[in-house]
Amino acid sequence: MRIAVFGICGNMGKAITKNLVKEKDIEIVAGFDKTGEGKDIGQVLNIGNIGSKIYSKYDSIKECKPDLIVDFTSPAIINKTINWALENNINILVGTTGISKENLGKIKKKAGNAKSKVFIVPNFSIGAVLMIKISKLIAKYFDNCEIIELHHDKKKDAPSGTSISTAENIGLSKHFNKQRLKDFEEEKIGGSRGAFTDGINIHSVRLPGLLAHQNVIFGAQGQTLSIKHDSIDRSSFYPGVIFAIRNFDNIDNFTYGLDKLIDI
């Protein structure tokens, strides 16, 4: 498979590409980034030249004829990139988070009539995906639930895509609250009860030293149950990335979440 990695000079782009170049059935034909244009990808990865370069223009990527784009860019350009990929019949695997529900709806509609596929994955950690699926299974047995998500201080979006996806999935099993604050609650400082979606309050923490962490806390009379997941190194995302790549034939034109490929 011929792959172009978008956001290849970022931390995630470099971490994933270093592993992809080791796969015998994959060829990294191009990188896409606003920095490093013209450099051999191997120079950015510190592994020696591999014969493929970094570009900053879509047309240059098209000339490399990739079968698949793996994207780790930013919310600022991801919608443009997805639309371009669909218009040019190129499959795209999206690891970039921060896409609004409105834009997801537009992408889904456009993908339905396209000749290529869009696979959007808020979190490639298989452990995090299992956390979401388990949370959905047990939600009906508890009275309430809140989510605390913790990430590094360079993360641009909050709440995280994983926490939003967790809340959405739990909401399919049980809707806990109709509003962010209960009738008797009063915030002494605005926002102290967190964000709110699908009946669940979400609290976001951003600190140096963290990578990606989430705690789903369920409460019932006299007890709590916590489901916690920690990604302590970006290598934790690679098994999910290669799993998604090798299962592209098994997904629909628009698929959201790695959970669609994991059955428990």
What's residue 19's pLDDT?
96
Catalytic residue list contains 229: no
Residues 139 and 99 in one domain: no
What's residue 110's pLDDT?
95
**Angle made by CA atoms 38, 119, 162, in degrees to the nearest 5:** 100
CA distance 18 to 63: 23
Residues 135 and 199 in one domain: yes
Residues 182 and 208 in one domain: yes
What's residue 40's pLDDT?
97
Residues 247 and 211 in one domain: no
Residues 174 and 66 in one domain: no
SS3 34: coil
CA distance 15 to 239: 12
Residues 8 and 116 in one domain: yes
Its domain, for residue 203, covers 126-232
**129, 257 Cβ separation under 8 angstroms:** yes
What's residue 101's pLDDT?
87
Question: Digits of tens for pLDDT over the chain (264 positions)?
Answer: 999 999 999 999 999 999 999 999 999 999 999 999 999 999 999 999 999 999 999 999 999 999 999 999 998 999 999 999 999 999 999 999 888 889 999 999 999 999 999 999 988 999 999 999 999 999 999 999 999 999 999 998 899 989 998 999 999 999 999 999 999 999 999 999 999 999 999 999 999 999 999 999 999 999 999 999 999 998 899 999 999 999 999 999 999 999 899 887
What's residue 230's pLDDT?
96
CA distance 17 to 189: 43
What's residue 204's pLDDT?
98
Rg, Å, the chain Cα set: 20
What's residue 87's pLDDT?
97
What's residue 123's pLDDT?
87
Residues 130 and 183 in one domain: yes
Catalytic residue list contains 110: no
Residues 168 and 254 in one domain: no
In 3D space, the residue among 180, 173, 175 whose CA is nearest the CA of residue 195 turns out to be: 180
- Please identify which of the residues 14, 53, 117, 151 carries the catalytic annotation: 151
Residues 255 and 226 in one domain: no
Strand partners, 53: 40
Strand partners, 120: 94, 256
- Per-residue pLDDT reduced to its tens digit, 162-217: 999 899 999 999 999 999 999 999 999 999 999 999 999 999 999 999 999 999 99
Structural domain count of the chain = 2
CATH number for the domain including 181? 3.30.360.10
CATH number for the domain including 69? 3.40.50.720
Residues 136 and 219 in one domain: yes
CA distance 24 to 31: 18
